[in-house]
Amino acid sequence: MADDLLSQLRQMTTVVADTGDIDAIRRFEPTDATTNPSLILQAAQQPERRERLAEIARQAADIDDALDAVAVEIGSEISALVPGYVSTEVSARLSFDTDATLARARALIERYGRHGVGPERILIKVAATWEGIRAARQLEREGIHTNLTLLFSFAQAQACADAGVTLVSPFVGRILDWHKAKAPDQDFGGDRDPGVRSVRQIYEHYKGHGYETVVMGASFRNSGEILALAGCDRLTISPALLGELAETRGTLERRLSPLDAETRAPEPLDEADFRWHLNEDAMATEKLAEGIRKFMEDQRKLEALLGELRRE
């Protein structure tokens, strides 16, 4: 009998847990784990965390300090359970401010250090805006690893590779969402999935030009998208889909394989080219803006919760 699909996937791709749920991480034993404001909010709302959150909120200098303290505390717990990276996100409010992103990222790394977690274990997540990518370039020069998130376009992926970021997270499912909304009767199954095609294009470009930036597909809507990207460097997967893969048996075909660098990398994009190409891509422009708003919506909910706890 064939092994389960999750076990087979682990043999060709680094499996990452897309969650802040400690129990789920213990269950699936991923190599890495990623968090974002929405996942931190979910973790913070667990009843067993309320007393500790109240303590953090009362001790914090302000709400921003409390937000970072919560994210790092949860991230530090996760770091004890995974051997690889833990991704922690800079506030989406800073998505268009390079200097503020740099300051917040350095503060997060310093805070992790006070928890005994070194910078080699952390990926600082930054939205793949022009300003975020510029911040990531500088952080990488300082030895701080970065994960560029909310990535929907090839222009974003090219600029991230030019900047030498550690990892990019193309959002497969949200790309599919946009196309399904525009063409609800069209079949986007299997290799026709535009999110899957986007990740493949980025992966093949990086490998074909010798970029070291890791490609990590993210934001999956179904297990079929994951199977279609088997062999990608990394895939970050929700607990629900990890469970589905673990319970399904069959033969998993490798779909992506590393290539030797075939040609020299193209000239880096400048700011004008980046903004023009992003503007030309309606899907990427809309989903990037929507993603930043969504993360801020959940961050505000967490801010409200911490503010309430500070007053108790």
Distance (Å, whole) CA 241 – CA 291? 21
What count of other Cβ atoms lies within 10 Å of the Cβ of residue 110?
Answer: 12
Structure tokens at 292: 């930043």
Instruction: Find tokens 């004008």 and name the residue.
Output: 272
Phi/psi-derived region of residue 220, left when phi > 0, alpha when psi is between -120 and 50, beta in every other case: beta
Contact 197, 206 (CB under 8 A): no
Instruction: Show the tokens assigned to 240.
Output: 């629900």
Q: Give helix then strand counts, H and E, for the chain.
A: 14, 8
- Among 121, 117, 170, 128, which Cα is nearest to 143's? 121
Residue listed under structure tokens 């007053």: 311
Q: Is 198 left (phi over 0), alpha (psi -120 to 50) or beta?
A: alpha
Are 9 and 228 in contact, with CB atoms under 8 Å apart? no
Residue 182 is among the residues annotated as catalytic for this protein: no
Q: Rounded to an integer, what is the distance from CA 281 to the centroid of its chain?
A: 21
AA letter at 250 = G
Q: In Å, what is the CA distance from 113 to each residue of 58, 106, 245, 286, 312?
A: 22, 11, 35, 37, 30
CB count in 10 Å sphere of residue 38: 16
What's the distance, Cα to Cα, between the start and end of the chain in Å? 57
Catalytic site positions: 125
